[in-house]
Structure 1
């Protein structure tokens, strides 16, 4: 019986570990989707705006490529700094809770009872749960970090990896609105740029909704409409801007 119990325990732990790994992978996929989505939307607005303001493919291409590379670097740097800050906060919080468990154990034990009581357990049951949890320092600290501070105890993965994923996702997404200007005449390129980007946004929206077990058609259309608005607004602004500048006496060659 003891062996069966031990095997069942190992199986349960493996199942929990698999679930954690699955969630971690989904989180990484969400970062890819987020980077690609921005990489599609922002350059589309830029190249559409410049295409509305000029008749020269070269200017549109330079603006699009500059935005794509600058945007990917910016997104990568933001992801790195965000992960680094999150990891530092997590480490500080865990260290703080470890010190408090050592220096004021009675107060920390009372806090656990109060936390469970606030979740609906009776005072007596909350006290029993606190007694059980505080028999293991690891469980004690994990409970305080998660329930009191609202932080995860799981180690935060490398900020460098987050930065690379975000940067390359953004750069990959930016190819759809920018590349047509490298291959086609301006007005044809504009149509292909918008069409390819909207198709990619629709696919991305469908995939994102699938991950969240949402309505895929609605998710795809929602993201695509936002992309259409971004490109349309950029084109209108690019068309109107030279007119407005000429009205105030500024001329663009």
Structure 2
């Protein structure tokens, strides 16, 4: 009878397909890169336009900023991801040592964790005993449920650096496009504003869609942030020029 129930449960699982978005880290890196890539060069170009710089100068400065920004952001992503891996390794070793040195204490912690989910002692005792017979499963359980740590991808650091860097370049090129074709900066900045705001709205909509937020609201919020950044830079450049 137990086997039949197990087979039934397995059958139900095979029939049920859950749809979850599992590329959160990649999307996060893209969001970081594109959002900064769109706003920072946009604000820089707007600020230089406010100082009556030529399109050629603005384009040169913008390209230099995009290159430097992509390297800086990529390096930051690499170091952050590497720190996450190093932290996991340290905690894994510490938890492994504790399981060997004080197994009874660690077993008690398993029971305490399960009790927080409403599992009674007579119910979780067999689970604790089963984990004690399987040290690797026990270690994985403690890492996930006691420390709340998921095993990071060892290649994550390089992937993060490349993803953020490329995303920054893609975003950073957008506000500079008008300056490639319009020699007069005052005219180019208007086209840059329109083009960048459209790009921000598209990006914000996509961000909201993939992260489960309201796409329209996300599009408007992203565009508003970009508009505020560029307006601030433009205003500061004008103030310095008048001063």
Please list the CA deviations of residues 7-35 of structure 1 after superposition, one character each: whole Å capped at 9, or x if unmatched. Answer: 949x76xx79x96xx51x34212311221
Does structure 2 conserve the Cα–Cα contact (< 8 Å) formed by 1:114 and 1:126? no
Q: Is 1:158 equivalent to 2:151 in the alignment?
A: no
Q: Which residue of 1 aligns with 2:92?
A: 94
Q: Which residue of 2 aligns with 1:80?
A: 78
| Root mean square deviation of aligned Cα | 2.4
Q: Which residue of 2 aligns with 1:238?
A: 237
Q: 2:60, 2:70 → 1: CA distance?
A: 15
Q: 1:64 to 1:155 in 2, by over 3 A?
A: closer
Q: Which residue of 2 aligns with 1:136?
A: 134
Does structure 2 conserve the Cα–Cα contact (< 8 Å) formed by 1:79 and 1:159? yes
SS, match of residue 179 in structure 1:
helix
SS, match of residue 153 in structure 1:
coil
Q: 1:49, 1:81 → 2: CA distance?
A: 31
**TM-score for both structures, normalised by structure 2:** 0.87
Q: Which residue of 1 aligns with 2:172?
A: 174
Runs of 4+ in 1 over 6 A off after TM superposition: none
Q: Which residue of 1 aligns with 2:221?
A: 222
Could you tell me which runs of 5 or more consecutive residues in structure 1 were left unpaired when the two chains were aligned.
Answer: 245-253
Q: Aligned ranges for residues 102-121 of structure 1 at < 5 Å?
A: 102-121=100-119
Does structure 1 conserve the Cα–Cα contact (< 8 Å) formed by 2:84 and 2:152? no
Q: Which residue of 2 aligns with 1:250?
A: none
Q: 1:199, 1:55 → 2: CA distance?
A: 24
Q: 2:187, 2:126 → 1: CA distance?
A: 72
Q: 1:82 to 1:31 in 2, by over 3 A?
A: same
SS, match of residue 148 in structure 2:
coil
* Alpha-carbon distance, 1:104 to partner: 1.6
Q: Aligned ranges for residues 187-202 of structure 1 at < 5 Å?
A: 187-202=186-201
| Count of aligned pairs | 236
SS, match of residue 182 in structure 1:
helix
Q: 1:174, 1:219 → 2: CA distance?
A: 20
Q: 1:55, 1:102 → 2: CA distance?
A: 68
Q: 1:233, 1:209 → 2: CA distance?
A: 25
SS, match of residue 125 in structure 1:
helix
* Alpha-carbon distance, 1:102 to partner: 1.9
Q: 1:27, 1:158 → 2: CA distance?
A: 9
Q: 1:159, 1:87 → 2: CA distance?
A: 8
Does structure 2 conserve the Cα–Cα contact (< 8 Å) formed by 1:35 and 1:166? yes
Q: 2:135, 2:153 → 1: CA distance?
A: 18
Q: Which residue of 2 aligns with 1:186?
A: 185
Q: 2:63, 2:93 → 1: CA distance?
A: 45
Does structure 1 conserve the Cα–Cα contact (< 8 Å) formed by 2:48 and 2:237? yes
**TM-score for both structures, normalised by structure 1:** 0.84
Q: Which residue of 2 aligns with 1:50?
A: 48
